[in-house]
Amino acid sequence: MTMVSRLPGAQTHHWDWQLEGSCRTVGSEVFFRPASEGRAEARRREEAAKRVCAGCPVRLECRRHALATREPYGVWGGLTEDERRALLVRREPEAVMPRAA
């Protein structure tokens, strides 16, 4: 039987940043592509998502999460799935995680 007293407590500090995301005030359809979306529509939607991300106080945490978990869909931390994939392939640390200003 597991000794519950020996289990670690909640690890919410790993996820609490999500509560501060600017995306919480915008519908998920801005960040995730519907199956029927064309290229021009996708570009407009992605640019709208990136505008939300640009002012987000947890943009870098979001980006780190998406890259670490290899999030396959949507705009996360201001990057599209194609942009994240390219960064992971190139493995350019400065491109993945820009230095704080």
Write the DSSP assignment of 41-76 as a string of letters: HHHHHHHHHHHHHHT-TTHHHHHHHHHHTT--SS-B
| 4 in a labelled binding site | no
pLDDT digits (tens, 9 = 90+) for 8-48: 666 666 678 899 999 999 999 999 999 899 999 999 999 99
| pLDDT given for residue 100 in this prediction | 57
Tokens of 48: 């709208």
Q: What average pLDDT score do residues 49-72 get?
A: 94
| pLDDT given for residue 15 in this prediction | 76
| 53 in a labelled binding site | yes
| pLDDT given for residue 88 in this prediction | 87
| 30 in a labelled binding site | no
| 23 in a labelled binding site | yes
**One-letter identity of residue 97:** M
H/E run at residue 88: helix 81-90
